[in-house]
Amino acid sequence: MSDLKLFTPTRVGAVELKNRIVMAPLTRNRARAEDDAPFEIHAKYYGQRAGAGLIITEASQISPQGKGYAWTPGIHSEAQVEGWRRVTDAVHAKGGKIVLQLWHVGRISHPVLQPGGADPVAPSAIAANSKTFDGERFVDTPRPRALAVDEIPGIVADYRNAAENAKRAGFDGVEVHAANGYLIDQFLRDGSNKRDDQYGGSVENRVRFLREVMDAVVSVWGGDRVGVRLSPFSNANDIADSDPQATFSHVIKVLNGYGLAYLHLVEGQTGGPRDIPEGGDLAALYGLFDGARMGNNGYDRASAIDAVKADTLDLVAFGRPFISNPDLVDRLLQDTSLNALDPDTLYGGGEKGYTDYPSLAEGSIAAE
């Protein structure tokens, strides 16, 4: 084993990891169409990638209302729990650790994806300049309906139920998705939250929904098996805030009260440039957090090694490299070539571009 710190074991909350390389959550749109459940190919896919110190699953909706894209998995039905149990069994059989990412998309949805053709919900009735996939084509996300105060406890209860289902499915913990312009992020940002009640206005009020979700999820798992994903400076899904440094500084201070396993930050734009806007300071945000720090966005072998060696990060999440390299950890350890990614098979479909990428032992797919 290399003496490079990136490849050494660590403990994150209550979870022992064999290395500090994380498989990032990656939406692949391959859930069973009739019930949004994972099935055999998901067990194979995640099992192939169990060399990661930690796997974070693709985002999984906590309720039918939380769905925003066709063929994405959920964690709110018995069929979904059973499907995810196959996944956790496959990962654990290979010595891996895996957490489920809990997701409610809020306004990033469409009536054709909602129960009864209902309008998507959000903190405020403000449309996002964004698109979603309805199973046939990409469509504009419409103007959502603002949630009534008395509806919010029901959504919090959905998070609690989803957390309980994740435990029944055999996961090692959960990650609360509070990033990338989805429902929790929509409450946090003053560009999408124009409420004048206890959930809007001041940053203390805008963080209230996240606090209630964390109360629910931590009551199920304990803080040491819960992580949170934030994207402070990303404008994904048309999200914006007038002072993200101040907003997310407050958010992180609130999260410290839960004794969390880790904080997962998208650095810069989601899946895009790592640039931080004027007034933004990632190091300061990481410095506020009391637990393990996980960085995500565009890391390669060298930058990941450097970040962990310098104690800037405790964990590094890799996204697309894990899609085309099931044995990514071995490839990084040996400093060898990576398989080329086939962009045409990222979303939807079956095993092609999903479970058929070769390991080093099987040969590599060269970049063109």
Q: Rounded to 5 degrees, what angle do the CA atoms 315, 207, 154 make?
A: 100
**How many residues are recorded in the chain?**
368
Q: What is the mean pLDDT of residues 50-67?
A: 98
> What is the model's pLDDT at position 366?
59
What are the start-end ranges of the H helices in 230-315? 244-255, 282-288, 301-309
Q: Which pLDDT score is estimated for 362?
A: 84
Q: What is the mean pLDDT of residues 217-224?
A: 98
Q: What is the mean pLDDT of residues 297-314?
A: 97
The CB-side HSE value for 93 (13 A sphere, CA atoms) comes to 11
Confidence band (pLDDT; 50, 70, 90) for 1? very low
And the tokens for 235?
Answer: 């404008």
Pick the CATH number of 5-362 from 3.30.70.100, 3.40.50.10470, 3.20.20.70, 1.20.1440.230: 3.20.20.70
pLDDT at 139 over 70: yes
Q: What element of type H or E holds 54?
A: strand 54-61
Q: Which of 45, 69, 182, 262 is catalytic?
A: 182
**What is the Cα–Cα distance from 297 to 35, expressed in whole angstroms?**
32
Is the CB of residue 271 less than 8 Å from the CB of residue 318? no
| Mean of all residue pLDDT scores within the chain | 97
63 has pLDDT over 50: yes
Task: Give pLDDT, residue 361.
Answer: 86
pLDDT at residue 36 is higher than 90? yes
State the average pLDDT over residues 182-202: 98
Determine whether 299 is an active site residue. no
CB neighbour list of residue 363: distance below 8 Å, 6 or more residues apart = none
